[in-house]
């Protein structure tokens, strides 16, 4: 039985960890908010109070946390980080969080220098998909390293898309999330025009779902914007949308591109967060535009 450490059992991580347990692996779990580990512990996972404790003796260490700062803490903390554990040479490290490209390159270099295998593995999908093993994984890794990791990635997903070496999985994730930010902001602007004209908004939502402008991002978020209630059943908060947008903009700048649409979208999400609505669903952005028009 493979021993796996899972760091970060929030809305996505809990479903992913559950899938690994269902595949027969022995899990040790850590989360900053201990209460969020309870469903897994009740199903047989071992509770660890620090990332270091979780990683001791693990064959594979997964992380699914919110941002660079959280990732740095769970891996690099001098006393409690996972890299302070007595890891076996060649331990597979799978970082599934959506992180900045700069941090992924730095972290992977440290992990590889310590003699371990790094898998750059951000994911796409929603919490219910994580629980069903229906995620898509965007992987950056050497082919041989990916093949070693596949048995542990398989229970999480319906597809693994390999983009090449470390950093490329993250680069794609940041690029596509930046596109998503622009799409959501654009959908909000379009809906406000329709609202001002006096169109029936339910009809507008239906028509959008049938037209050339439709995408899963546009359809889902347009429905939420039309329905309102952005503080309820938060799927992806404005705070996390701003984080992803900021990381995407930093990636574009790093490689010499000025992402003009992304900059506009990022500015709107900054207003959303600064106005105190960062913990509401990202669709709250329509109210930011509504107040500014």
**What's the pTM?**
0.95
The H-assigned helical ranges of the chain are 13-22, 38-42, 51-55, 68-76, 101-113, 127-132, 143-153, 168-197, 201-210, 216-227, 238-254, 260-272, 285-292
Q: What is the residue range of 201's domain?
A: 170-292
Per the structure, the count of domains in the chain is 2
Catalytic residue from among 36, 173, 196, 291: 173
Q: What is the pLDDT of residues 219-258, one digit of tens each?
A: 999 999 999 999 999 999 999 999 999 999 999 999 999 9
Domain boundary among 125, 149, 165: 165
> pLDDT tens digit string along 183-203?
999 999 999 999 999 999 999
Give the end of a domain, one of 119, 148, 165: 165
Is residue 173 part of the annotated active site? The answer reads yes
Is the CB of residue 258 less than 8 Å from the CB of residue 200? no
Which of 146, 165, 184 is the last residue in one of the domains? Answer: 165
């Amino acid at each position: 039985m493979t021993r796996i450490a899972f760091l970060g059992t929030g809305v996505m991580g809990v479903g992913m960890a559950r899938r690994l347990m269902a595949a027969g692996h022995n899990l040790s779990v850590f989360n900053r908010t201990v209460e969020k580990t309870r469903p897994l512990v009740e199903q047989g996972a071992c509770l660890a109070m620090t990332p270091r404790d979780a990683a001791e003796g693990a064959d594979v260490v997964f992380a699914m946390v919110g941002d660079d700062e959280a990732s740095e803490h769970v891996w690099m903390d001098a006393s409690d980080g996972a890299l302070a554990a007595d890891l076996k040479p060649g331990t597979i490290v799978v970082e599934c969080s959506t992180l900045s490209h700069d941090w992924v390159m730095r972290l992977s270099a440290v992990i590889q220098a310590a003699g371990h295998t790094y898998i750059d593995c951000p994911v796409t999908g929603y919490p219910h998909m994580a629980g069903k093993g229906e995620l898509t994984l965007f992987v950056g890794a050497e082919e041989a390293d990916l093949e070693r990791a596949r048995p542990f990635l398989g229970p999480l997903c319906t597809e693994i898309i390999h983009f090449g070496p470390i950093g490329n999985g993250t680069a794609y994730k940041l690029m596509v999330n930046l596109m998503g930010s622009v799409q959501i902001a654009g959908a909000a602007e379009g809906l406000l025009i329709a609202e001002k004209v006096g169109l029936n908004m339910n009809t507008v939502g239906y028509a959008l779902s049938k037209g050339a402008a439709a995408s899963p991002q546009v359809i889902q978020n347009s429905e939420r914007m039309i329905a309102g209630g952005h503080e309820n059943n938060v799927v992806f908060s404005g705070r996390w949308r701003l984080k992803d947008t900021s990381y995407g903009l930093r990636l574009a700048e790093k490689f010499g591109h000025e992402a003009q649409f992304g900059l506009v979208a990022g500015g709107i999400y900054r207003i959303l967060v600064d106005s105190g609505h960062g913990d509401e669903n990202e669709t709250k952005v329509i109210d930011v535009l509504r107040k500014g028009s």
